[in-house]
Copies of this chain bind each other. A is one copy, B any other.
Amino acid sequence: MSAVNLAATQILGNLGSIGYGLAAIGPGVGIGIIFGNGTQALARQPEAAGLIRANQILGFAFCEALALIGLVMPFVYPTS
């Protein structure tokens, strides 16, 4: 008598979720640093608000691009 009782792993999901999660760590911190320092700059010189905001949005776009690339790459890498 041999009782083979194989309860295998039941992990669902796609590794792309982990990939995007890792790709979002850096931009999350980076956007925080940009807007945190931008808020300090606004308090230091409120009359330069337009210049400060434009620079913030520029840096935000560059940071966000990293996360968005991580979002689409799981569709690009071959999976089979």
Contact = CB atoms under 8 A, between A and B. Distances in A.
Interface of A: 1-46, 48-49, 51-53, 55-56, 58-60, 62-64, 66-67, 69-71, 73-74, 77-80
Protomer copies = 3
B28 A29 contact: yes
Contacts of A69: 20, 24, 67, 71
Q: Is the interface of A mostly helix, strand, loop or mixed?
A: helix
B73 A17 contact: yes
Contacts of A17: 15-16, 18-20, 70, 73-74, 77
Given A12-B14, A23-B25, 14 more contacts: A10-B12, A11-B15, A13-B74, A18-B18, A24-B26, A26-B27, A33-B35, A35-B58, A35-B60, A35-B62, A41-B42, A55-B56, A71-B73, A78-B79
